[in-house]
Structure 1
Amino acid sequence: MADPLIQVENLYKLFGNNPDKHMSLVHEGKSKDEILAATGHTLGLKNINLSINPGEIFVIMGLSGSGKSTLIRHFNRLIDPTEGVIKVEGTDVMQLNPKELEQFRRHKMSMVFQRFGLLPHKTVVENVAYGLRIQGVDKSESLSRARQWLETVGLAGYEEQYPAQLSGGQQQRVGLARALCTDAEILLMDEAFSALDPLIRSEMQDQLVQLQEKLHKTIIFITHDLDEALRLGDRIAILKDGEIVQQGEPEEILLHPATDYVEAFVHDVNRARALTVETVMKDPAYRITADTIADALSQMKGFGRDYGYLVNESGYQGVVKAERLEQAYQDNKDAKLDAALYEDVEPVDPHAVLETVIPNTLDADYPLPVVDEDGQLTGQLTRGTLAEVLGETHKPVEQQKDESRTPAA
């Protein structure tokens, strides 16, 4: 696995006139309210430790006042920490001199703001090209590249418009194009979609996911919306009063909340829309690797089921049931297994959202096979799994009961 692109180590931020003087109270474990009452200083961040990998969308979320916007502004040193280290590709950002920091901000990171941050007196294409012009790229090339990015975000034809002539969603697309146009490796997005109407917000989320599939940027995304975090994030960190209370992959946070605070966050999330098959599927235990009917029945008896998933060197072939094989056995027990003996079962894509596979899962007499794009059997999805995961309980998936069919006599 590649080394982390960004590492944050023991990061603290205490706002006030003399933060160093009062950091002892923070290390003693005093609360945010206690420190404010005693010193007039506000605790913004407390002992933040993060590793962010190249090419991932890392979501930092929390309610208002949790410290998430404070944290994202540390990455490009719009805010300097009271204590701690921020490394980007192994370089301690805190050690950069003013000239180095200027170049770092221009070339390494771009930022997309909640309120768009567009220059009202410049055209759309001039706004997108602005970062390149700051980098010193000549006007002709910068405008050419800006037009390409406007086309990428769906705004071809709007080049000569002004920001005030665009809708909120269009203005945010301009902001996104401007951030991408500089070709910065790291994209900072601070509540970038929060000011948009729900439908436009959903469209922007979709577009970000589509762009990320092509660009593989490292994106740090700030939001207060758990649904948005679950939809976008490869990993999520949840902040409360300046501290990280849990971080991990979306399904881990959704299924295994670490604290009552996180539990309250995830309680009302529609799990069927937030989880994919691969996050809850089980290993496919009942593989049939035999070539003949007799051998297939023998394997079924060995693992005590009246069905199995037929696989060979080419991958998954289909579901076979004992009842049909036994009928064929009477005619010719040494006959080869072929498609005529398979059950009519549509495999499930591991990336499918649970909501889309619920009907098939409930209708099936046995767990559905999960087959990847290469045709390999990667898991099985049971009714019992769905019942547990979509219910109120947070019981770990690995403890869920296997609601398979009763073994044949």
Structure 2
Amino acid sequence: MAEPVQDQQALIRIEGLYKLFGSNPQKHMPLVHQGKSKDEILAATGHTLGLKDINMTINKGEIFVIMGLSGSGKSTLIRHFNRLIDPTEGVIEIEGTDVMKLGDKELQNFRRHKMSMVFQRFGLLPHNTVVDNVAYGLSIQGVSKSESKAKAKEWLETVGLAGYEEQYPAQLSGGQQQRVGLARALCTDAEILLMDEAFSALDPLIRSEMQDQLIELQEKLHKTIIFITHDLDEALRIGDRIAILKDGEMVQQGEPEDILLNPATDYVEAFVRDVNRARALTVETVMKDPAYRITADTIEEALKQMRGFKEDYGYYVNDDGYQGVVTEEALQEAYAEDNAAEMTVECCEELDAISPDAVLETVIPDTLNSEYSLPVVDDDGQYTGRLSRSTLAEVLGNESPDAELVDEAERKAG
């Protein structure tokens, strides 16, 4: 899964977007607004409802995934962003500019400089070399041949294809061809990247590698990426936020963990049912609040804090961050020896912390083997949450495929 977006500045705003395909869509839009179904409209008018009342905001620097099955409207929607398709109704604003008001020349410049597109079937020019394919967008912009080639070579190196400059597309594997397509899209330095099923034609292993590379590149480049897919696993892995379409309507929009843990409809629930949550969720998405915090300077004060807890243990935290787990029994023994003693690390048991970024699958054994909830500690050593067996059971569920992982870990622990 991609890193959370830090910059929440809205870049793209879609409001009340409708697309009705046919010879006279405006005439039949009242039927759409009356709530007639896609099938009813088609039967009555011969027009096809492509999109219905789409509303979304896409933030600067995020990977926004639009997903759905074939016919859901996802590819139709992405083609509205650069006006390859014009809406029947609705607003499309990019950085405050109403795209629908752009004239032909303005629209041409907008497409050349603001957005780049990566296609499912690569879209490479077969008779051009790899470097010329990557430089193509710059040549269209009027950049000199020497400058565009130099920049194209830089991007080929970035995507791992240095040395392939003079090859032709037919000489490359599918994964390599898609890397060329990605380099070409990045080469124009466009702020927005449109990726329409960009990895779906690739073999699973190559597809996974391309997903990894996209996430790695995004951490450096901070582009705004709109990614179309029919694969929920792919969406969960790379998306900062996900919008799910069905029959041209948006049925749910949110962060990956929200969709996975709180599906809004039966349709979404069917999508998420077979997802391996243990591999899709991180500790941070399911951990409980950082309760049972012991911050006292003395044993006496620590005991007072402990007696306010539901559990008979706590997590000792000082100015240097998390130090270990301490039990009520240990505090009582220390207090009996010296009722004026200071609270120190010596009172604690070692309990390895887990990272908020850890994938759940990797911490299942440690969670089940521990008699305490595991403390979640960030890179700065700060105690930020806790993960217990009961939380794992609740999140993974007894009937999910992930329960097998829990059962196996419990057998090993027992």
What TM-score does the superposition give when structure 2 sets the normalisation length? Answer: 0.93
For 2:241, the aligned partner's letter is R
Output the amino acid matched with 1:17: S
Q: Distance in 2 between matches of 1:348 and 1:146?
A: 42
Q: Which residue matches 1:62?
A: 68
CA shift at 1:89, angstroms? 0.4
**Residues 87-98 of structure 1 correspond to what in structure 2 (within 5 A)?**
87-98=93-104
Determine which of 67, 77, 81 is the counterpart of 1:71. Answer: 77
1:302 aligned counterpart, secondary structure: coil
In structure 2, the residue matched to 1:212 is 218
Instruction: Identify the match of residue 240 of structure 1 among 246, 249, 255.
Output: 246
Answer yes or no: is 1:320 the counterpart of 2:326: yes
Q: How many angstroms apart in 1 are the aligned matches of 2:341 and 2:91? A: 68
CA distance in 1: counterparts of 2:109 and 2:82, whole angstroms? 11
For 1:26-41, list aligned pairs within 5 A. Answer: 26-41=32-47
Task: Note the C-alpha offset of 1:4.
Answer: 1.0
Q: Please, which moves more after superposition, 333-342 or 353-362? A: 333-342
Deviation at 1:135, TM superposition (A): 1.1
Distance 2:16 2:399 in 1: 34
Alignment correspondent of 2:167? 161
Give the deviation of 1:313 after TM superposition.
2.9
Q: Which residue of 2 aligns with 1:125?
A: 131
Query: Which of the residues 174, 188, 198 maps onto 1:192?
Result: 198
Q: Measure the CA separation in 2 of the matches of 1:137 and 1:212.
A: 25
Q: Does 1:373 align with 2:385?
A: no
What is the aligned counterpart of 1:112 among 118, 129, 134?
118
Output the CA distance in 2 between the equivalents of 1:309 and 1:167: 53
Match of 1:309 among 305, 312, 315: 315
Q: Does 1:265 align with 2:261?
A: no
Out of 63, 74, 88, which is 1:82 matched to?
88
**Residue 57 of structure 2: which of 51, 58, 61 is its match?**
51
1:168-187 mapped onto 2 (5 Å cutoff) = 168-187=174-193
1:94 aligned counterpart, secondary structure: helix
Q: Deviations over 1:44-103 (max 9, x none)?
A: 000000100001100000000000000000000000001101000010000000000001
Aligned to 2:11: 5
Deviation at 1:292, TM superposition (A): 2.2
Choose the corresponding residue for 1:336, options 342, 358, 367: 342
Distance verdict in 2 for CA 1:386–1:59, change over 3 Å = same
Q: Counterparts of 1:249 and 1:232 in 2: how far apart (Å)?
A: 11
In the TM superposition, residue 392 of structure 1 has moved relative to its aligned partner by 5.6
Q: CA–CA distance in 2 between the matches of 1:323 and 1:156?
A: 63
Query: Larger deviation: 59-68 or 124-133?
Result: 124-133
Q: 1:146 aligns with which of 152, 156, 181?
A: 152
CA shift for structure 1 position 119:
0.6
Matched to 2:255, the amino acid is: E
Matches within 5 A, 1:356-367: 356-367=362-373
Alpha-carbon distance in 2 for matches of 1:40, 1:86: 26
Deviation at 1:328, TM superposition (A): 3.0
Kindly state the Cα deviation for residue 33 of structure 1 after the two structures are TM-superposed. 0.7
Mapped to 1, the partners of 2:21 and 2:270 lie a distance apart of 29
CA distance in structure 1 between the partners assigned to 2:9 and 2:160 by the alignment: 34
- 1:314 Cα offset (Å): 3.0
- In the alignment, the residues of structure 2 paired with residue 118 and residue 341 of structure 1 have an alpha-carbon distance, to the nearest angstrom, of 66
In structure 1, distance between residues paired with 2:339 and 2:298 = 7
Q: Quick one: distance in 2 between partners of 1:93 and 1:393?
A: 48
> In the TM superposition, what is the alpha-carbon distance from 1:329 to its structure 2 partner?
3.0
Instruction: Please report the RMSD computed on the Cα atoms of aligned residues, expressed in angstroms.
Output: 1.4
Measured against aligned partners, the alpha-carbon deviations of 1:268-320 in whole angstroms (never above 9, x if no partner) come to: 11000111111111101111011222321221112242211112233222221
Give the percent of matched residue pairs that are identical in Structure 1 and Structure 2: 79
- Give the Cα–Cα distance (whole angstroms) in 2 for the partners of residues 10 and 29 of structure 1: 14
After alignment, is 181-190 or 288-297 more displaced?
A: 288-297
- Offset of residue 393 of structure 1: 7.9
In the comparison of the two structures, how many residue pairs are matched? 394
Equivalent residue letter for 2:188? T
Aligned to 1:254: 260
In structure 2, distance between residues paired with 1:52 and 1:188 = 12
- TM-score scaled to structure 1, two decimals? 0.94
How much has 1:262 moved relative to structure 2? 0.6
Q: Hey, what's the Cα distance between the residues in 1 that align with 2:148 and 2:349?
A: 59
CA distance in 1, matches of 2:9, 2:398: 38
Q: Deviations over 1:370-396 (max 9, x none)?
A: 1111211111111111101101689xx
Q: Tell me how far apart the structure 1 counterparts of residues 199 and 30 of structure 2 sit (CA, whole Å).
A: 38
Instruction: Name the CA distance, whole Å, in 1 between partners of 2:347 and 2:205.
Output: 47
Question: How many Å apart are 1:141 and its aligned residue?
Answer: 1.2
Partner of 1:405: none
Matched, 1:383 2:389: yes
1 CA distance for matches of 2:166 and 2:304?
73
Please list the CA deviations of residues 121-146 of structure 1 after superposition, one character each: whole Å capped at 9, or x if unmatched: 11111111111111111111111111
